[in-house]
Amino acid sequence: MIRNLTGGVLYHYLALKHRNHLWNPFKSSLSRFINGLSTDSNKLVLIGPSGGYCLPQKFITKLNKIEAFDPDLLAKIIFNSRHSPINIKWHSRDCLVNDQSSNFQILNQFKPSHIILLSNIYGQMRCLFKSERLYNSWKVNFLNLIKGFEFISYHDIYSFKSTFKLNSTLNKTYNSFDLLKNDLVLYSKTQKIEFVDHLTHDDFDFVKKKVYFLWELHPNNYHIIEAVYYNGRRPQ
């Protein structure tokens, strides 16, 4: 079980505390993005959903089949109680890191019938590797794999702490990271923002459909989220 701010018991605690208030602007922005997509498949491989706190119910209910991968035992219980999916199969196996040695055999079995949704997991992958060299090697292999799928991902590109609550004007969807960054500079007053780099910012340059949001995960602690959609079988 991943035990950081975006996984495991601590994440469930933050969700219980903030999902119905502090997280609402982010959840609304993410829902508009995902619900607005015209996807080819109604079968989903869902990776790292935790309790599904931010995933839109409208999107989940239109799916005929879900293969969910999450080692967190609480994830299954909470997700099923929140979304009541009709046909979902849960897997505790790792389909991202350990499966690399078998050329991602677990994920490849779902090609091309399923769409993949990386549920706020990609931006946390660096912490699962002992070195940046191993992480970069995995990333090259995984990105080559994912290009063969229709997929959605929302993930951290940067995170930061603020000394005060940022202006609510920032709670909107941005079409580029630069626009969001410019607004951050504008509304951050005199404080200097120090970004934590999640090493994902340029990874989806091949994707045309992408947007950016701020997610205040807990008070004055913000994550910059990139959401992307890619269809590997037809032009973007």
Using DSSP's 3-state secondary structure scheme, residue 80 falls into helix
- Whether residue 231 is predicted with pLDDT greater than 80 in this model: the reply is yes
The vertex-224 CA angle with 220 and 227, nearest 5°, equals: 140
Residue spans of beta strands (DSSP E) within 70-181:
88-91, 115-119, 151-161
Query: What's the chain's Rg over C-alpha atoms?
Result: 17
- pLDDT 10s digits, 181-219: 999 988 877 778 889 999 999 999 999 999 999 999 999
- pLDDT 10s digits, 121-152: 999 999 999 999 999 999 999 999 999 999 99
- For 124, 199, 211, the CA distances from 155, given in Å and listed in that order, are 8, 11, 11
- Whether residue 22 is predicted with pLDDT greater than 70 in this model: the reply is yes
Helix 8-18 vs helix 73-83: angle between axes, to the nearest 10 degrees? Answer: 30
Please report the domains of the chain, with CATH numbers, ordered by start residue: 8-230 (3.40.50)
Contact (Cβ atoms closer than 8 angstroms) between residue 207 and residue 229: yes
- pLDDT 10s digits, 58-99: 999 999 999 999 999 899 999 999 998 889 999 998 899 987
- pLDDT 10s digits, 156-165: 999 999 888 8
